[in-house]
Structures are given as structure tokens and as C-alpha cells.
Amino acid sequence: MREILYREAIIEALDEEMARDDSVFLLGEDIAEFGGSYKTTVGLLDKYGAERVRNTPISEQGIIGAALGAALVGMRPVAELMYIDFSAVAMDQIVNQVAKVRYMFGGKANTSLVIRTQGGAGRSSAAQHAQSLEAWFVHVPGLKVVMPSSARDAKGLLKASIRDDDPVFFIEHKLLYLEKGAVPEEEEIIPIGVAEVKREGGDLTIVATSSMVGKSLAAAEELEKEGVSCEIIDPRTLFPLDTETILASIRKTGRLLITHEAVQRCGWGAEIAALAAKDAFDYLDAPIERVCAKETPVPFSPKLESYVIPGKDDVIAGVRGMLETV
Amino acid sequence: MIRLTKAKALWIYETMVRIRRFEERSIELFQAGELPGFLHAYIGEEAVAAGVCAHLTPKDQITSTHRGHGHMIAKGLHYKGMFAELYARATGYCKGKGGSMHIADQDLGALGANGIVGGGIPIAAGAALGLKLKGENHVVVSFFGDGASNEGAFHEGINIAATWKLPAVFVCENNGFAESTPRATHQAVQDIADRAKAYGIPGIVVDGMDPQAVFEAAGEAIAHARKGRGPTLIEAKTMRFLGHYVGDPGTAYGHDKEVGKWLKRDPLITFAETLEKKKWLSKKSIDAIHEKVNKEMEEAIEFARKSPEPELDDAMTDIYATV
Amino acid sequence: MATPLPMPKLGLTMEEGTILKWRKDEGEAVEKGEIILDIQTDKVEYEVESPDGGLLLKTLAGEGDVIPCGTDIAVIGEAGEDISGFGSAPAKAPVAATEPAAADASTPPTPPPAPAPTPAPVAPASAQPAPEGRVFASPAARRVARELGIDYRTLKGSGPGGRIVQADVRAAAASGIPAAPAATASGPAAVAGSTPLAGMRKIIAERMLSSWSQVPRITMQAEVDLTNLLAVREASRQAWENDLGVKVSINDLILFYTARAVRRCPAVNVRLTENALEQMQDVNIGVAVAVEQGLMVPVIRGADQKSIDAISRESRALAEAARAGALGLDALEGGTFTVSNLGAYGVDHFSAIINHPESAILSVGAARERAVVRNGEVVARTTAFVGINADHRVVDGAPAAEFLSTLKEMLEHPKVMPA
Ligand SMILES: Cc1ncc(C[n+]2csc(CCOP(=O)(O)OP(=O)(O)O)c2C)c(N)n1
Ligand SMILES: [Mg+2]
């Protein structure tokens, strides 16, 4: 299969969906001539014109509200928030409007829109440009939350998100944009709500999201040499959640480690831990472990940043701790 | 009207040189791979920071932006702490936790640069409120860009300051672009200063490439604020000479074509000429200023390079005051 | 304001409850909704939640006390509150020896009976093989131990901090380590563990003893040919699944026909009270379900009136609820005839003990292919041994036999396709 960059996979998904459906259009800061701060919309202005690839003012609340308004009258907007950190500026529209409109108005309103954004640390972007805030959105009923970890998932899931009739909060990762991965040439829609077993194993289940999937796969390679076999599950969609795939794996391995780049406290991993403790309680052979960011804002210093953000070695240490014998 | 004295003029010139050289050296160091993260250079806009801050005492406050080095230098922050911060050293102004976009020193009235566009504007209103409540006769200046004037925070912050007649001055550095977006495509008004009407405060357009013009306009606005008459919105028309961030060639969105005519109005050149004409400066004294600045700069860079990195444990401090 | 906690009334017929265990001590903090004690009715064990948050100021009855519903058994409130208004609950002594009434009028009035003494708990046997204190074993290890019949408390854990993990249990099972410690060479038989007789086990023990010792049984068995019934089930399976959405088991069919056979032979649907023979109006079939702590008999009411899919659904739901400990009292009341099926365990025939005050119980063995003689030839047919145990005081031999043959006939020639 051919290999393309994660960011190219995003462009392809947008391109194909815009070609397929005239109601799909893009809006966001610097997405037109500039092709987006992370070059995820390059070439689309030339192809679809300024009406459908719209540069916006720096008005995050306005962007999301405008996307919702357009959706209400039948369009399928894809709004880009340059950084997930800036979602905080648009929180009213996301949480009180986008997420609520369908329910509050009795189910008739059309809220088919996608909010694309990117998060994560690793580039010394410091406290306001490197957060992992996915749990905020998973916590809000009415939003679907997608977080792809590979080029293939990014493309297939973005296409599914654009076609979905619910608002989808689609979280990319700034460090993954330049990672290559196999993506089929032919059209592929990856359904929302389906996890993927990224690696099979028998000793321990690692549930990993976004950038932690790759780090976990690398950790698993090393652990394999020690005779430890890790199964790695990427939920890909944080909500709706494919609980069955996760639980089946836990029932098989008896051990669960959850890893994400967001801080541990009240992170999405807590939800997975609760799920396992309830629905796979009798299968747990060790306390549930979480490998997450330390509970601090992201520091600028690369040294501190890599200390705070979990890496491959943290996953390995977490696994070893769980398998440690007396 | 507040007249530009020789002392102030020389201070402004030297400050502009200090900013320019700091940015030039930072870019070199960044491109040499010595600095992590990313940089937004202030080159071209020096007249604004220098012309405004010439009026400020250390007790006056500023809020700044992602493009904030110039404001900080003009507000009196020293090179050492700034370079050390860019180098992510423990001796930096923010102990290596903030970086280029987040330099601050509250002791010197620099409340903070900001990575969130528009984020500083309501904070400035609040600082002005605090000073007013404390009965101190200081002012707060908020710097921000043309792009920031489209955030809700801009409208909300200025409206609050205007309504409560707070001692604040809002300085919009209109450099014609918000990242890659030309100003005319992100707002329909010609002059951002016109928006002042909507808040019932004075709005002034000033040539941001002319230090004297900036100095005079800012002087009036600051005096107005100190007298308790409320805020002013100053729009300084200016231009960044480089891309949005170091590494952005500016070619994708027409900045490279636009910048040419502005380069001719480089305030470091024009203001030097003006001052030379007034005999307040000579070639020799200009060289002396550059030499002094360079020396100070290289010392600061050495200081930063030799400074220790923060300890790992430092990552977990300063999160709370009391936890 | 202190809040009293009365003995709850958990079902229409519940009059009183026994306090099994206080989970909180006096003076301990409790949260609203937190479980503060376990009680026992004549049917179920029940966890009682605190009606309020605060301190458990006082318990008004002790473990083992039998308290009428509605009588206060504890007081919840804030520290220092005045609770003098709450006296101790008048417990009904389980076996209260009543003093003979005093004959002499001049003697002072007899003091009110003291609260029933708490029965001394059975002291745990000293030969406890499990280590002292809490044994750390993972939930998975506990589950596997349960499944393999291993006493995990005797194992050495290999997990962090010595925690017993699943692998330890499996290794123990594989190496043939006996579930219980090896038999001691001499002396009296060693006791491996001891559980105070309480709760469901206590009730079962009492019920079984009274049934066995008070009810003279008549026992009879018949071999029933289920071949046709199985064929009917096979033929209807698809339709049941598609149209009715149920998977009908053999036991469901047996329940179905038993109910109808009982309706046809009301002589087995009777009850002996102190001085009357009561003919029961409804056919309420009890289904014996083995649960972790013992045995429960939830009831399918009006079973003779119910369709096969209703029976199938209800029996499944009741069994699941029983195993999950989620049966309400009402589901356990009102049985008139019980069916006990041990076929799943491969048992051929057995004799079940009558679920007194019912008068008869059906025992059903395993359905399997057996050699039988048909028209002078030995052929393989699927048969099961089905038996009835009846209270011979009220059910004579002939009616019991008639019931059995009616049932046998129905099962062997399922004329009507059950629907
Ligand atoms: C809330 C928010 N939205 C978007 C950004 C990304 N961003 C950083 S600088 C910038 C352009 C700012 O334009 P302007 O205010 O004109 O300042 P300039 O860069 O021109 O100095 C943008 C979009 C941000 N940092 N914060
Ligand atoms: Mg600008």
C-alpha cells in the first residue's frame, strides 16, 4: 500500500468529501492561502475557491457558532481550530450550543458539523499551545470525539465524521502530522465508534490514544524481547466508545494499562479504568495502571516537557511495574 | 501636547536598537538550532513599543502578545533573563517554563506576554481596575495586533475599561496581517480605531513607523488615563518586516510584496536620520550605542548558554501557591 | 434532628426481620445510602442503607435479634444529639424460655423481658489453614479459584507485594494441589474452615430438616421418553426464535407441561395447614435454582395459563436474577408445586425434598439416549427419569401416580405444539 503523511491523509479526506458533497465547506484561521498552520488544507483553496475554503478572522467563538449556524440550515461545515488550546475561547459555542441544540430543541435540528483541531506537546510550544484537552469534550453529552493515531485512521475517520449527522470533535496531533503511514488509494470509511487492536498480545492490555499509540507500539517491541506480550488497543473514537473490544482484551490478558498524553487527573483514562473495574472486575489480575502526563501545565523547556509528557520508557516502566513478581 | 525631549528621543532610539538587535540575534540562534520552540519577530514594529513605553514607569503595567519581545525590552526587562528564557534555562524570567511567547516580570510591570490572541486585553482592563481601586495613579497599556481586534476578548475588555473609565490604553499594532490573513479580509472596517466609537472612548490612528508620532499619541492617551478620564484606543499602522514566525517566508499570502514599501520607512533608519538632523545623534554616537548594545547582548547570550537547565522537579513547582 | 432507622418491610408478607450483622459500630460515621447492616427475612438476605448521613449514634438491637417491621433498630444523627427518646427495640427471642407466671400477687411485677440474648456466634475452628488477616488476591485470581475449586487463601502469591494472581491459581490447579490441605494423618478430622450458620444457609437447614422430619413422603419414578418432545422442539425452534424471540430449553417444556399436568391433577396441588386440607386455586410452579450461597426457588405464577415463550422468558429471568442476588421477595412467594431439574449435572435419578408447605415436588434427571424396548426391539431413545415426591398425609399413592402418568403421557406425546 502507498504511504502518505498524516497531514496529507487529512487533506485527502477533506478533498474527497468536498468533491463528493457540495454542502461540505471549510472555515478556520489561515486555512486558505496558507494551507493551515500545520498544512492540513494545502491546495484546497485552489481547487474549491474562497467560498468553500474560508479564512476567518481570529474569532474562535465566531467560527464555531458560524459552523453551527450553517449546519442548522443544511450545510456540512468543517471548522478548524488551529490549536485545541483555543477551543477554550470557543467553549460556549461548543458546549452550550453545538452539543445541546439537537437535544434541547427536541431532536429536529441538523447539527452535522466537524470541529477539527490538533493538540499535544513535543515541540516546546509551552502551556497555551500543547495541551491535550480531549476529556473536556468527551464529558459533554452531544459531542462525538475522534482522535486518530495514524494516517489511515485520520483519513477514514475524518470522512466518516464529515458524513456523520452529529457534531464530531476531531482531534489530530501536531507531532503525527509528519508521520507516514499506509493509506489505501481506494475510498475507505472507518466507522466512528470502532476500536482497533493495533497489536495482539496476551500478557497485558494497553489502551492508548493518539501519540501514545506509536509510543506504546515501540514499548511493546522492546518488551517483547523480555518475553512480555502486550496487546495494544486504540479506541480511535473516545465517544462513542467501543467498550466490547476493550473489555474482551482485558478479559483475555487480565491486566490493563491506559496511556494518554493528557494529564492523568480526571483524564479520559479514568473512564476506561472505571469501565474495567466494573465490567471486567473478575478478570483483573493487577491494579489498573495509568501512564499519563504529569499534573502540570506543559512547560516550555524541552527537558521539562519530555519529563512531563509520557514517553515510550514510561510505558515500559508502567508495564514492568504491573508484571513485577515478588 | 507632550513634546519629545532629547533624552526621551535618545532613549527611544536606543530602545529600538536594543529590540532590533535582540530579535536579529534570536533569529540567528534559533536558526542555529540553539533555541527550542518558535519565535515571532518584532522587527519593523519597534517604534510602537519604544514610543509608548517611553512614557511608562516601572509601576505602570503592560500586557503583551506572542510577538512580545519588543514590548518587554521597552518595558525595561533585561537581556539576560530574556535570553535565558529563550534558552529554556532556570535563570530565565520564567525559569524556562514560559519561553518566547510567555515572558513576564511583574516586578517591572510586565504582566505577561500571551499565547492566546487577545488574551491580554481584558486582563489589562482588570489590572487598570485594580490600580484604580488601590488608588494608585498608574496606567496599564495593552499591546495587541489587528488580528486580535476580532476576538470577543477585545470587545469585552475594552468595553469594561471604557464603562468604568479605567486607566488603560489599548494599543493595536496593526501590521496588516493576522498570521497569513490580510487585514482587509478579516475585518470590514478600514481603521480599527473607529471601533473606539462603539465603546465611547477616543480612537486615534497613528503612524506606527514614526516613533515621534507614536510617542505623542501615546503621551496624550496615557495622560488622559492618568487623569481618570478613561481609556483610549490607539491604532498604530505598522508592518512586521519578516514572516509571521521565524521560518515563514511570507510568500504564500502576499506579505513579501507588501513589505517592500515599508522597509523604506524602517524607523531605525528614519529616526536616526531625524535625530542626526537635530544633532542629537552623530554617526559616532550611533556606533557607540550599537557597540554597547552588542556587548551587553553577547554577555547575556553567554550568560544564558552557561546557565543551568531547570531540574526535573521544577516541572512540578509553581503550579499552585499553596499546594 | 436524629433520624431513626426502622426494620424495613420488604414485601407484603414480611412481618419481622433478623439482624444478621451490623456493618457499622456505634459512633461511626455513615453516609446517606451507605449500607449499615444486613438483615434476614424468611426469604432473602438484605442490605439496609442508612436513611441519612451522620453518625450511627445508637444501635437499638443486636445481631441475631428478630425485630418486627417498623420498629426502630438504630438512630442516625449528629454527635451529641439527644437520643434518650429512643429505647432498645423489643426483640422477639428466637427461642425465648418464658418464665411461669408468678402466682403470688405480692411479688413485684415481672420486669419486661430483657432483649433476647444474642446467640453466641459459632467460634471459628482453630484449625484455620488460611493465613491470618487479609489475603491479597487479584479479582481474576479469586474468580479462577472459584471456577477451579481452589482455596486461594492457601497459595503463595507471586505478584507485586505477594499478591496472589491468576497464574498462581492456575499453577496450583495444574500441579494438582488439592483444593483443601492434605488430610491429616491421625486424630479427629481436621476442619478446613468454618462459617457461622446464618442467612440463607441457616434457613435452608431449618426448612430441610422440618420437611424431612415432619413430612412422610411417597416417592415414585418413571422413565419418560422425550424423543418426540425433542423433535417438536427441533421443528419449532426456528419459529420460536424468529417469531417469539426465545430459545426454548427442555426444562422450559417440562415446566410448561408440568403446570398443565398439575392443573389436570389438582390432588397434588394441595396444602396441609394445622387443621385443614387446602386445595390451591392457582398453579404456581417453583423452579429450584442453585445459587452461590445455596438454593433459591423463584416462582412462575399461574404457570398453567402461560404460553411456552412466556415460561421460557420468565424462567430464564428468574434464574438470572436469583444468581445475581436480585430477586425480590415477591418472586419467592406463593409457590404451590416445585420442579427440581438436575439433568444438567448428568444425574439420572434422585429424590427431591418437598418444599414445605407445598405437598409435592418433581425431580427431573438427565435426558440422554438410552436403550429401551419398543415393540419387542431394543432401540435408542432419548429418555429421562422423572419422579414425584409427595406428602403422603395429603396425597395418596394413586393420585400421585396418576399425576406422574399424566405428565409422562403429555411429555411423550406432545399433541399440541406448545405455543
Ligand atoms: C486565540 C488564538 N487564536 C489563534 C491563535 C494563533 N495565532 C497566533 S498569532 C496569530 C495572528 C495574530 O495576528 P495579530 O493579532 O494581527 O498579531 P500579529 O501576529 O500580526 O502581531 C494567530 C492566528 C492564537 N495564538 N490564539
Ligand atoms: Mg497583525
pLDDT tens digits for range B244-283: 999 999 999 999 999 999 999 999 999 999 999 999 999 9
- Find, in chain A, the residue whose alpha carbon is nearest to that of B66: A128
- Judged by its nearest atom, the ligand closest to the C-alpha of residue A86 is 1
Which of C43, C53, C45, C49 is closest to C6 using CA atoms? C49
What is the widest separation between alpha-carbon atoms in chain A?
Answer: 66
- Find, in chain A, the residue whose alpha carbon is nearest to that of B118: A58
A129 is catalytic: yes
| Predicted local confidence at residue C96, as pLDDT | 35
Tell whether C398 is covered by a domain: yes
DSSP letters of C20-44? EEESS-TT-EE-TT-EEEEEE-SS-
Least confident of B53-67, B130-144, C344-358: C344-358
CA distance C136 to chain A (A): 11
Place of cell 485545541: A84
B245 is catalytic: no
Tell whether C142 is covered by a domain: no
Tally of domains within chain C: 2
Q: How far is CA B149 from CA A42, A277, B145, B165, B177, in A?
A: 27, 49, 7, 20, 12
Q: Which residues of A touch C (CB under 8 A)?
A: 254, 281-286, 321-322, 324-326
Would you state the cell numbers that stand for residue B115, as one nine-digit string?
499565547
Give mean pLDDT, residues B42-63.
Answer: 98
**What percent of chain B is predicted at pLDDT more than 70?**
100
Which of B190, B197, B112 is closest to B155 using CA atoms? B197
Beta partners for residue C6, in sequence order: C72
Q: Which of C166, C169, C292, C323 to mutate to test the interface with A (most CBs of A within 10 A)?
A: C166
Of A228-237, C257-266, C269-278, where does the model show the most confidence? A228-237
Atom of ligand 1 nearest to the CA of B174: 16
Q: Residue C315 and residue B177: Cα distance in Å, rounded?
A: 74
Coil, strand or helix: which one is C405? Answer: helix
pLDDT tens digits for range A62-113: 999 999 999 999 999 999 999 999 999 999 999 999 999 999 999 999 999 9
Handedness of CA C97, C98, C102, C103 (dihedral sign): negative
Supply the CATH number for residue C336's domain: 3.30.559.10
- Find, in chain A, the residue whose alpha carbon is nearest to that of C157: A326
**Cross-chain Cβ contact A30/B315 below 8 Å:** no
Atom of ligand 1 nearest to the CA of B144: 15
Least confident of A34-48, A134-148, A257-271, C125-139: C125-139
| Predicted local confidence at residue A208, as pLDDT | 98
Which of C319, C362, C363, C360 is closest to C345 using CA atoms? C363
Q: Residue C272 and residue A174: Cα distance in Å, rounded?
A: 81
Q: Residue B88 and residue B39: Cα distance in Å, rounded?
A: 13
pLDDT tens digits for range A267-310: 999 999 999 999 999 999 999 999 999 999 999 999 999 999 99
Tell whether C283 is covered by a domain: yes
Chains C and A touch (3+ CB pairs under 8 A): yes
| Predicted local confidence at residue C91, as pLDDT | 65
Q: Whose CA is nearest to atom 21 of ligand 1?
A: B145
Q: Residue B316 and residue A88: Cα distance in Å, rounded?
A: 23
Give the number of other CB atoms < 10 A from CB of residue B279: 8
User: Residues whose CB is under 5 A from ligand 2 (ion)?
Assistant: B 145-147, 175, 177-178
**What percent of chain C is predicted at pLDDT more than 90?**
33
List CB contacts (< 8 A) between B312 and chain A: 303-304, 307
pLDDT tens digits for range C210-229: 888 889 999 999 999 999 99
| Predicted local confidence at residue C198, as pLDDT | 67
Which amino acid appears at position B266 of this protein? Answer: D
Pocket test for ligand 1, best of B65, B117, B259 (most atoms within 8 A of CB): B117
Give the structural domain span for C37: 3-77
Subunits with at least 3 CB pairs below 8 A relative to chain C? A
Supply the CATH number for residue C13's domain: 2.40.50.100
Which of C302, C297, C265, C298 is closest to C283 using CA atoms? C302
Q: How wide is the angle at C-alpha C87 spanned by C-alphas C81 and C90, nearest 5°? A: 150
pLDDT tens digits for range C110-122: 444 444 443 333 3
| Predicted local confidence at residue A261, as pLDDT | 98
What per-residue string of b and e applies to C120-131 under the rule 16 or more CB within 10 Å gives b?
eeeeeeeeeeee
User: Across chain A, what does the average pLDDT equal?
Assistant: 97
**Cross-chain Cβ contact A55/B186 below 8 Å:** yes
Of A97-111, C189-203, C236-250, where does the model show the most confidence? A97-111
**CA of B147 relative to ligand 2 center, distance in Å:** 5
Tell whether C112 is covered by a domain: no
Q: Residue B49 and residue B19: Cα distance in Å, rounded?
A: 9
Which amino acid appears at position A134 of this protein? Answer: E
| Predicted local confidence at residue C65, as pLDDT | 86
pLDDT above 80 (res C188): no
Q: Residue C24 and residue C87: Cα distance in Å, rounded?
A: 19
**Cross-chain Cβ contact C140/A321 below 8 Å:** no
The pLDDT-based confidence of C196 (bands split at 50, 70, 90) is low
Which of C198, C218, C222, C250 is closest to C414 using CA atoms? C250
Contact C388, C359 (CB under 8 A): no
Q: Residue A246 and residue A168: Cα distance in Å, rounded?
A: 22
Q: Residue C342 and residue C351: Cα distance in Å, rounded?
A: 11
pLDDT above 90 (res C287): yes
Q: How wide is the angle at C-alpha B89 spanned by C-alphas B83 and B90, nearest 5°? A: 120
Domain termination site, one of C77, C111, C138: C77
Q: Residue B93 and residue B101: Cα distance in Å, rounded?
A: 12
Q: Which residues of C touch A (CB under 8 A)?
A: 138-143, 157-163, 165-167
Which amino acid appears at position A245 of this protein? Answer: T
CA distance A267 to chain B (A): 18
Is the confidence metric ipTM above 0.90 for this complex? yes
Tell whether C107 is covered by a domain: no
**Cross-chain Cβ contact A326/C138 below 8 Å:** no
| Least CB–CB distance from A127: residue in B102, B178, B312 | B102
| Predicted local confidence at residue B219, as pLDDT | 98
Pocket test for ligand 1, best of B66, B181, B185, B187 (most atoms within 8 A of CB): B66
Q: Residue C265 and residue C92: Cα distance in Å, rounded?
A: 41
CATH number for the region B6-309 comes to 3.40.50.970
Tell whether C234 is covered by a domain: yes
Q: Is A133 left (phi over 0), alpha (psi -120 to 50) or beta?
A: alpha
Tell whether C280 is covered by a domain: yes
| Predicted local confidence at residue A326, as pLDDT | 61
End-to-end CA distance of chain C: 59
Residue from C349, C356, C392, C413 carrying the catalytic annotation:
C392
B300 contact partners, CB below 8 Å, separation of at least 6: B78, B79, B80, B82, B83, B84
Q: How many CB pairs under 8 A join A and C?
A: 41
Subunits with at least 3 CB pairs below 8 A relative to chain B? A
Q: Which residues of B touch A (CB under 8 A)?
A: 36-38, 85, 88, 94, 96-99, 101-102, 114-118, 147-148, 150-153, 178-181, 185-187, 252-254, 309-310, 312, 314-316, 319
C-alpha dihedral, B33 to B39 to B45 to B47, nearest 10°: -80
Contact B47, B211 (CB under 8 A): yes
**What percent of chain C is predicted at pLDDT more than 70?**
83
Which amino acid appears at position A257 of this protein? Answer: L
Chains C and B touch (3+ CB pairs under 8 A): no
Tell whether C133 is covered by a domain: no
pLDDT tens digits for range A218-242: 999 999 999 999 999 999 999 999 9
| Predicted local confidence at residue C194, as pLDDT | 66
Which amino acid appears at position C279 of this protein? Answer: Q
Q: Whose CA is nearest to atom 20 of ligand 1?
A: B178
Report chain A's C-alpha Rg in angstroms: 19
Domain termination site, one of C49, C77, C105: C77
Which of C117, C66, C82 is closest to C2 using CA atoms? C82
User: Across chain B, what does the average pLDDT equal?
Assistant: 97
Would you state the cell numbers that stand for residue C157, as one nine-digit string?
502469591
Domain termination site, one of C47, C77, C107: C77
| Predicted local confidence at residue C95, as pLDDT | 37
Q: Residue B49 and residue B103: Cα distance in Å, rounded?
A: 15
Contact B246, B30 (CB under 8 A): yes
C-alpha dihedral, C230 to C236 to C238 to C243, nearest 10°: -140
- Find, in chain A, the residue whose alpha carbon is nearest to that of C142: A282
Q: How far is CA C385 from CA A200, B7, C219, C261, C345, in A?
A: 49, 116, 13, 17, 14
Q: How wide is the angle at C-alpha B19 spanned by C-alphas B16 and B24, nearest 5°? A: 125
Strand order in the sheet with C16-22: C45-49, C35-40, C16-22, C66-68
Give mean pLDDT, residues A163-184.
Answer: 98
Q: Residue B91 and residue B309: Cα distance in Å, rounded?
A: 8
CA distance A322 to chain C (A): 8
DSSP letters of A193-221? T--EEEE--SSEEEEE-THHHHHHHHHHH
Least confident of B39-53, B187-201, C137-151, C316-330: C316-330
pLDDT above 90 (res C232): no
Give mean pLDDT, residues B112-136.
Answer: 97
A293 contact partners, CB below 8 Å, separation of at least 6: A121, A132, A260, A261, A262, A263, A264, A308, A309, A310
The pLDDT-based confidence of C132 (bands split at 50, 70, 90) is low
| Least CB–CB distance from A326: residue in C138, C139, C158 | C158
Would you state the cell numbers that stand for residue C120, as one nine-digit string?
453466641
Atom of ligand 1 nearest to the CA of B178: 13
Least confident of A53-57, B9-13, B224-228, C357-361: C357-361
Q: Residue C316 and residue C319: Cα distance in Å, rounded?
A: 5
End-to-end CA distance of chain A: 46
List CB contacts (< 8 A) between B258 and chain A: none
pTM of the model: 0.69
Name the residue with higher pLDDT: B255 or C232.
Answer: B255
pLDDT tens digits for range A188-219: 999 999 999 999 999 999 999 999 999 999 99
pLDDT above 90 (res C208): no
Would you state the cell numbers that stand for residue C384, as one nine-digit string?
429421562
What per-residue string of b and e applies to C28-52 under the rule 16 or more CB within 10 Å gives b?
eebeeeeebbbbbbbbbbbebbbbb
Would you state the cell numbers that stand for residue B75, as one nine-digit string?
518595558
- Find, in chain A, the residue whose alpha carbon is nearest to that of C141: A285
**Domains of chain A, CATH where assigned:** 3-182 (3.40.50.970), 196-323 (3.40.50.920)
Which of C190, C170, C171, C166 is closest to C180 using CA atoms? C190
Would you state the cell numbers that stand for residue A214, as one nine-digit string?
506509536
Q: How many residues does chain B have?
A: 323
Which amino acid appears at position B174 of this protein? Answer: N
Place of cell 435419578: C349
C-alpha dihedral, C142 to C143 to C148 to C150, nearest 10°: 10
List CB contacts (< 8 A) between B179 and chain A: 29-30, 34, 37, 58
Coil, strand or helix: which one is B311? Answer: coil
